[in-house]
Amino acid sequence: MALGNDMDQDFLNYTLAYNPPMDPLVAERNLKEIKQILDELGVVFILGSGSCLGATRDKAFIPWDDDVDLVSVIGINGLTEESADIAASAFRKKGYFVGQMDGVHSKVLMTLKDRVRISLECLRISDDHVYAYPGIKFPAIFFTQPKEIDFLGERFLVPNPPEEYLALKYGPQWMVPRKAGEYEKDVVEKIPAVDVVGSPCRLRVLDIEGKPVPDAEVVLVAGGRSRTDQNGYAEIIVPGSDWYALMIKYPGHEQVLYMEQLEPDKSYVYRSDAASNAAKNAQSDIGTLGGILLAE
């Protein structure tokens, strides 16, 4: 059900596809409101990804950031699978649209209010590590023993030490500002490919004229690599229904899809013309996008 004020699944999909910059004043208001909700529930959260980067490096939101990134750890500091659902209900009572995804390594709540997206990624610990989107392996202690900082006139937590977290996430040059469409490629390219256990889904790659692209390379970030056949189809092994990042490469074309929802045994279509149009609409120099794949 649409809630008005661009708070529904369609607008959530739009933000994932086009990554429009958020209004920093609205983002600050919403973040402080969500902080109050989580504080009342006893759920400890941490500023992650671009929000941690902005708070640490710039002492402000990054001007071109498209969302606020929050992280919590299931089983630590008051967060359980059930309390994450309670938090989602509490957000809705405050007028937020909430999309939920229960993935392999985390449970994600994506909230929308007044055209600003705030994501709470609830991570699961495995062998003293967590796998934070888009598949980066971090020592769990970064998140279980966070550091308190001043941000927006209040006290917030960040991974500890934030400098090491940001170097693992964005590389050693994390202090150098990189706009949307630039940093994502750096992030995904340094994540090693690994063989994953799961089930296949299929992805068909079409060129700008809508024709199948043979021998295109399809990279599942933190997963495996495959190539398309003569009809443009590649098989991707995924461990389960979740959000994934992918890279599509063929001569004259390279695209990072930073946030795609994939399910085993499903078929998807990637159209480079749709990706190019989305890149133009988002004014992205590199064309790093999400939400581009269509079910076949």
pLDDT in tens, 108-120: 999 999 999 999 9
Architecture per CATH, 199-295: Sandwich (2.60)
> Cα separation of 49 and 187, whole Å?
11
> Cα separation of 80 and 6, whole Å?
30
In this chain, the answer to whether the domains covering 9-177 and 199-295 adopt an identical fold is no
Give me the phi and psi of 257, to 5 degrees please.
-105, 105
Residue 133, Cβ neighbours under 10 Å: how many?
A: 25
SS (H, E, C) 177-195: CCCCCCHHHHHHHCCCCCC
> Cα separation of 206 and 209, whole Å?
8
pLDDT in tens, 4-25: 456 788 888 888 777 889 999 9
Instruction: Please give the pLDDT value at position 2.
Output: 43
Residue 35 scores a pLDDT above 80? yes
> Cα separation of 31 and 70, whole Å?
9
Residue 282 scores a pLDDT above 50? no
R_g (Cα) of the chain, nearest Å:
19
Q: Looking at the DSSP assignment, which residues form a beta bridge with residue 106?
A: 123
Residue 177 scores a pLDDT above 70? yes
Instruction: Please give the pLDDT value at position 295.
Output: 80
pLDDT in tens, 220-265: 988 889 999 999 999 999 988 888 889 999 999 988 888 888 999 9
Instruction: Please give the pLDDT value at position 5.
Output: 56
Query: What are the tokens at 183?
Result: 């940093």
Instruction: Please give the pLDDT value at position 275.
Output: 58
> Cα separation of 247 and 189, whole Å?
9
Instruction: Please give the pLDDT value at position 96.
Output: 96
For residue 142, give the H/E element and its range: helix 141-144
Instruction: Please give the pLDDT value at position 61.
Output: 96
Name the fold adopted by 9-177. Answer: Beta Polymerase; domain 2 (3.30.460)
Instruction: Please give the pLDDT value at position 294.
Output: 83
Strands (E), the chain: 46-47, 67-73, 97-102, 106-113, 116-123, 129-132, 136-139, 147-151, 154-158, 199-206, 217-220, 225-227, 233-238, 242-250, 253-262, 267-271, 288-290, 294-295
Lowest mean pLDDT among 73-77, 178-182, 238-242: 178-182
Instruction: Please give the pLDDT value at position 228.
Output: 97
Residue 149 scores a pLDDT above 50? yes
pTM of the model: 0.79
Lowest mean pLDDT among 150-154, 252-256, 267-271: 252-256
Would you kindly state where each structural domain of the chain is located, as residue ranges? 9-177, 199-295
Instruction: Please give the pLDDT value at position 6.
Output: 64
Confidence of residue 280 (pLDDT cuts 50, 70, 90): low
> Cα separation of 118 and 278, whole Å?
22
Instruction: Please give the pLDDT value at position 180.
Output: 65
Residues contacting residue 279 through CB under 8 Å, at least 6 positions apart: 181, 286, 287, 289
Instruction: Please give the pLDDT value at position 286.
Output: 34
